[in-house]
Structure 1
Amino acid sequence: MYFFSKKQSKKKIKKKLKKSKKQLISKNSKKKLKGIIKINKFGHGFVFINNNNNYKKIFIPKVNTKNSLNGDEVIVKIKKIENNKIIGIIKKIIKRKKNNNIIGIVKKINKNKIIVNTNEFHVDIHIIISKSNKKIKISFKDKVLIKILNWKKNLSNPIGKILKNLGKTGNPITEKNSIIEEYKINNFFSKKVIKELKKIPIKIDKKEIFKRKDMRYVKTITIDPFNAKDFDDAISIKEINDDIFEIGIHISDVTHYVKEGTYIDKEAYKRGASLYLVNDVIPMLPEKLSNNLCSLVPNEERLSFSVIFKMNKKAEILDFWIGKTIIRSDKRFNYEEVQEILKKKKGPFCKEILILYHLSKKLKLKRLINGSILMNTYDLKIFLDKKNYPKKIKLEDSKNSNFLIEEFMLLTNKKISEFVSLNKNGKPSNFTYIYRIHDKPCLKKIKEVKSFIKLLGYKINKFDKKEINNLLKISKKKKEKNIIDNLLMRMMTKAKYSTENIGHYGLSFSYYTHFTSPIRRYPDIIAHRLLEKFIMNKKSESLIRYEKKSNHCSNKEKILLEAERNYIKSIQIIYLSKFIGNIFKGIISWITDRYVYVELLFLKIDGFVKIYKNKKFFIGKKVYVKLIKVNLQKKDIELKIVKNIKNY
């Protein structure tokens, strides 16, 4: 990482790093180290060492990758240090990755072979035309799924076989198909799952109703995005007197229908969560459950797992109850409708919505006082035409209606985890539970972000949570807002699931879980099952077993989040392709030794500018840029800096 500034010099730090790395190389230059190689879109590799060495990865130039494929187990030899990187060469491929299916674009079609270009290789893949290949119709610029058959030492190009034609490059449906194949997303439910579904009764058994707290006649609403199909949560309100309210947070009782060990449950566990792709969703649960029986739709009796808070106007919790309920939602709202009611102070359920909003503001203030970090958030709204092409992309800051629901969900997740973890005397219950944990950032990352923040003209001293919130507040209406947000996000560790509770740093909660979205997240299903066992005084479950489940859920979340981001970026690039040659306002967000990255302000997406001359650039500099070209395959946006912007 390199950036230029008159104020700052890192020569001393670089010298120390170079010296320590040289010592490592002198010790290990004769050793042949074992690891897994990951190839980037430029054909270069990084070998991640899987033994106890003092460094994590070694850079491999594309000429030294020795026909290795992404995910192969290799032996690497260290060669030298250059530009603060440890550089190596692949000596041997120990084991090929089992599933080496990749996605590429048809570059050329000859009489005897099809030439395909991919991100995974710095050379093309050759497809020998055979009878099996002729069955699949292929044309220029088609996106295809390929299986690598071999890449022998004497061959300059790998040999592959086309398994599937995904469609024409640049078509949103093709990009969706590519994401499904690339991330191995299961888009269909098995016959065994469908068979189990048919056995689930549509009507609620009367015996089940008598077992539950009846909340059907309490005013209850749902608030969700306008395009939502599955409603996990509902909120009820009952006015006890002018100062005391009974607020019910009702979460779909998914585990009543999805029993542990069934085919439906196993499939949900494999998927980990629902995958949202702009106007489409690949659900974790079949539609009969996700959009029907489990969804808290209006005017229908639904089973739920609820937390009912008794609180005063100051949002102080006087008492609470946790248990199974039956509810009937009176009305479904979207965020825009609630925002209008908050603005005009009139509309259906106006009184109830205003009370909930007042309480949510009090909850939010308490959270901030206790040290919770309030990150700036925005909604990226993508509007598609009839052919699924993006016709408009709009950026909107999160509204008051968003955090109204968010605050009550945070409170519920916090209270549930405290309830399971602590006995009435405040001592640990030692009951196995699944937590959503978030560790504090490491000192190294804090120092890096601190130096970048100073370049943007902001003074930070302690860099504690109070100062972070103050920085976010000051920068909220500034052009560099998104850069600061991204820098702080990079500094943070990734939240994950675990049975070992360390608290949640970002929220400043000692106990936190995910309980409120069981239709779309599997960890919430685990949280529901364990809570029910705790309430029924059942024996605590195996910590090792549930830690394994927690790790699986964390890994699936990471994969699905990457898939979702990649698909959204594809749609953004398709949209940008209409504006080649146009001039846009931008802000420099990141700098390396080869590229300057500029955020396009109207779309909140980064493009790159090649550094040809020794010009001085710094993070936060405002510029006009020209859109030169886009590359959908590599997810690249190439820009050219036209001029600096002085007054904005």
Structure 2
Amino acid sequence: MTKNRNKSGKKKDQGKDVKSTKPKAARMRKEAMLKAILSLFHSSPKEPFNYKQVSKIIGVENAVQKLQVSDILFDLCADDVITEIDRGRYRLNSLGTVAIGTFMRRSNGKNSFIPEDGGSPVFVAERNSLHAMAGDKVKVQLLAKRRGAEPEAEVLEVLERKEKVYVGKLQVARGFAFLVTEDKTLANDIFIPKEKLNGGKNGDKAIVRIVEWPDEAKNPLGEVVDILGTAGQNNAEMHAILAEFGLPYKYPASVEKAADKIPEVIPPEEIAKREDFRDVLTFTIDPKDAKDFDDALSYRLLENGNIEVGVHIADVTHYVTPGSIIDREAESRATSVYLVDRTIPMLPERLCNQICSLRPDEEKLCFSTILELDKEAEVVHSRICRTVIKSDRRYTYEDAQQVIETGEGENKEAILALDALAKKIRARRFKQGAINFERYEVKFEIDETGKPLSVYFKESKEANKLIEEFMLLANRTVAEFVGKVKKGQAKKTFVYRIHELPDPEKMENFASFIRRFGYRLKTDGTKSEVSKGINSLLDTVQGKPEENLIETVAIRAMQKAKYSTDNVGHYGLAFDFYTHFTSPIRRYPDMMVHRLLERYLVGGRSVIKSKYEDVCEHCSTMEQTAANAERASIKYKQVEFMSDKLGRIYDGVISGVTEWGIYVELNENKCEGLVPIRDLDDDYYEFDEKNYCLIGRRKKRQYRLGDAITIKVAQANLERKQLDFMMV
């Protein structure tokens, strides 16, 4: 029997078309067809189908549309939505096209979905977002993508709302109000009904919670949680920065009440349990504006000619018991936050500034590392113990520096001996491969209203380095005590401060970047060889215009230090074992370390690792959040400081290059501003990410990271914390 095909691809059998007995179906649009096909595969995830079966089930009978079904199946297979199990037969991909993860909202509309299994972010168009908010846990449908286009997802369901508040300025009209926010995760202002204003007035800085976002509404609906004050007032703006980062700006009264009940007097039976250092020369060295002194040094010359140095740390965990209301608040905060004009403490003030602070002429409880050092500053013997001390004197860094520089002053023998030891310890540390990042800090002189009057740069001198070296040594000693185990012994869970090796690709990029300035850097070899190369580079650039820039880019090439129960060592310090033990007043990991030490010193069993790892992750996250808030407060003060300098001309250096413009850091005061790409109107500029530069399409002019440049101050926007510059 002869068989042939007509042009439409239908079989002819014995000269007649095989016709369907069903009434002719309406023509289906391609979008509806795609949805129907996806729905079919999802409803029967284990069933295989060919294009004929799919066509029949979704009601497609037209020959042309059947070909469309075949095309769609081919595309879905190419995109891994379905898989071809044998020729022409498809089944839903077992990897799944429905995924669960975190939704990230962006004000520029570039929303994304981050799968919880750690896959790459997937774009989510606003129309497919289901009004999910930043941080929400969502279930998404991974959509079939056009070939060559980015993959996309559609939110099917919001599984878990992340509690988030928004900070901005209230615009109050007669019958309603809006919160106008600069939040980078929200493109729309928040609509606030009049009855939800909580007493807020036009121009107030406020914190608002989104209550709902109806499907058809352009703006989310919110309610005012708190009024921070009038926009532009220093207190309101500093509190707004904290609130933006989800950090607390006031202390719960219940926690302060609990702290007020803690007795300040030390019972004699507690003193009897401890090593007594009250008669040993002891002093603190801190910044001049410090109130919480959580470390002190004691000095004693031994009969064998060696020096005993006691590193005494405030015994916070004697007063704060695990699981107490004070402890829960401290764990939640994880760190004190240092904004330009204030400290937001981790512990209530009664503890951090009074009971635990190692103030002169007051008996204080400490956790101490007692180190015996020989003349070469080698540790001959060390021990860790609970102590009682009485500080003889409180030095500022400037006081101690004067003794070091002049060789004169109270307790000069002790200070000069400690300085000499610290210098030897430091030299040995760098010889072993520690990296010498000596960056200055930008500080502001501010008046009583918080207005910045001038900028100055805080540098680290010998007195700072003296304290730094003994704190590093104490931290290392404690980490080695727990982490170094004898053969056959089991490791005990501990909290380490770790710093992983730099990412090789980032180091290569850094090496190619510095070649433009005429510098070379070896990026392969041993850990020690690479770090010595970095140190040599940092020494060479000192005092050069590009010093700050090269240090900044070098730091970006490094990994971030963090807390972990898995010890991989600390690359930047060249230590195999390192922890944080020396600042329990302001860091929660140090409190964890004190408690673990107390347990292990008396032979206690190891603790559950996973529980401590979770707290380590939380502390690392909070540390980064606090650093971001600190930077935002500096940025705000820089913009405020420059706001009366519009039109002035400054020399600077290009400190950042992006697709939207170039950032310029001013030489005189280190304030940073943006020259928007739209203002570079002599050419059409394109961003070259690899070479950190913008290149003009016609004239080929380049603006590179590190280039010297002259600008004029064009605008100071306090709301956005942004300075705009224009080229001169």
TM bracket, shorter-chain basis: 0.7 to 0.9
Q: CA deviation at 1:34?
A: 4.8
Q: 1:361 aligns with which of 423, 429, 438?
A: 423
In the other structure, the counterpart of 2:500 is 439
Alignment of 1:389 with 2:451, yes or no, is: yes
Q: 1:80 to 1:627 in 2, by over 3 A?
A: farther
Q: CA deviation at 1:243?
A: 4.6
Distance (whole Å) between structure 1 residues aligned to residue 497 and residue 715 of structure 2: 41
Q: CA deviation at 1:249?
A: 0.7
2:444–2:455 Cα contact (<8 Å) kept? yes
Matches within 5 A, 1:63-82: 67-74=131-138, 75=140, 77=143
Q: 1:472 to 1:552 in 2, by over 3 A?
A: same
Identity score, percent: 36
Q: CA deviation at 1:65?
A: 5.9
In the other structure, the counterpart of 2:282 is 220
CA offsets per residue over residues 326-359 of structure 1, 9 Å max, x none?
Answer: 1111111111222222222212222211111111
Q: CA deviation at 1:214?
A: 1.3
Q: 2:559 aligns with which of 484, 488, 493?
A: 493
Q: 1:630 aligns with which of 696, 716, 719?
A: 716
Alignment of 1:547 with 2:604, yes or no, is: no
Q: 1:272 to 1:592 in 2, by over 3 A?
A: same
In the other structure, the counterpart of 2:572 is 506
In the other structure, the counterpart of 1:139 is 202
In the other structure, the counterpart of 2:31 is none
Q: Which has the larger radius of gyration?
A: 2
Q: 1:105 to 1:98 in 2, by over 3 A?
A: same
1:35–1:48 Cα contact (<8 Å) kept? yes
Alignment of 1:238 with 2:300, yes or no, is: yes
Alignment of 1:341 with 2:427, yes or no, is: no
2:371–2:382 Cα contact (<8 Å) kept? yes
Q: CA deviation at 1:190?
A: 4.5
Gaps spanning 5+ residues in structure 2: where?
Answer: 1-74, 83-96, 525-529, 684-695
Alignment of 1:286 with 2:360, yes or no, is: no
Distance (whole Å) between structure 2 residues aligned to residue 459 and residue 80 of structure 1: 45
Give 1:122's aligned amino acid.
Answer: A
Q: CA deviation at 1:46?
A: 3.7
Q: TM-score, normalised by structure 1?
A: 0.88
In the other structure, the counterpart of 2:536 is 470
Q: 2:705 aligns with which of 619, 622, 625?
A: 619
In the other structure, the counterpart of 1:309 is 371
Aligned-CA RMSD value: 2.7
Distance (whole Å) between structure 2 residues aligned to residue 204 and residue 255 of structure 1: 14
Distance (whole Å) between structure 1 residues aligned to residue 268 and residue 137 of structure 2: 58
Q: 1:164 to 1:336 in 2, by over 3 A?
A: same
In the other structure, the counterpart of 2:191 is 126
Distance (whole Å) between structure 2 residues aligned to residue 503 and residue 557 of structure 1: 19
The count of residues paired between Structure 1 and Structure 2 equals: 611
Alignment of 1:430 with 2:491, yes or no, is: yes
In the other structure, the counterpart of 1:451 is 512
Q: CA deviation at 1:172?
A: 1.9
Q: CA deviation at 1:189?
A: 4.7
In the other structure, the counterpart of 1:14 is none
Higher mean C-alpha deviation, range 530-539 or range 410-419: 530-539
In the other structure, the counterpart of 1:99 is 163
Q: CA deviation at 1:427?
A: 6.8
In the other structure, the counterpart of 1:300 is 362
Q: 1:560 to 1:594 in 2, by over 3 A?
A: closer
Q: CA deviation at 1:137?
A: 3.7
Q: 1:156 to 1:111 in 2, by over 3 A?
A: same
Distance (whole Å) between structure 1 residues aligned to residue 581 and residue 494 of structure 2: 11
1:588–1:623 Cα contact (<8 Å) kept? yes
Matches within 5 A, 1:517-556: 517-556=583-622
Q: 1:219 to 1:395 in 2, by over 3 A?
A: same
Matches within 5 A, 1:165-314: 165-190=227-252, 192-240=254-302, 243-314=305-376
Higher mean C-alpha deviation, range 28-37 or range 362-371: 28-37
Distance (whole Å) between structure 1 residues aligned to residue 147 and residue 724 of structure 2: 30
In the other structure, the counterpart of 1:371 is 433
Q: Secondary structure at the match of 1:578?
A: coil
2:335–2:588 Cα contact (<8 Å) kept? yes
Q: CA deviation at 1:460?
A: 1.6
Q: TM-score, normalised by structure 2?
A: 0.78
In the other structure, the counterpart of 1:599 is 665
Alignment of 1:114 with 2:177, yes or no, is: yes
Distance (whole Å) between structure 2 residues aligned to residue 227 and residue 217 of structure 1: 27
Distance (whole Å) between structure 2 residues aligned to residue 70 and residue 62 of structure 1: 13
Q: 1:51 aligns with which of 109, 114, 117?
A: 117
Higher mean C-alpha deviation, range 121-130 or range 266-275: 121-130
In the other structure, the counterpart of 2:6 is none
Q: 1:475 to 1:35 in 2, by over 3 A?
A: same
Q: CA deviation at 1:592?
A: 2.4
Give 1:438's aligned amino acid.
Answer: H
1:215–1:326 Cα contact (<8 Å) kept? yes
Distance (whole Å) between structure 1 residues aligned to residue 327 and residue 360 of structure 2: 26
Higher relative contact order (CA 8 A, sep 6+): 1
Gaps spanning 5+ residues in structure 1: where?
Answer: 1-22, 643-648
Give 2:406's aligned amino acid.
Answer: K
Q: 1:180 to 1:212 in 2, by over 3 A?
A: same
Distance (whole Å) between structure 2 residues aligned to residue 455 and residue 26 of structure 1: 44
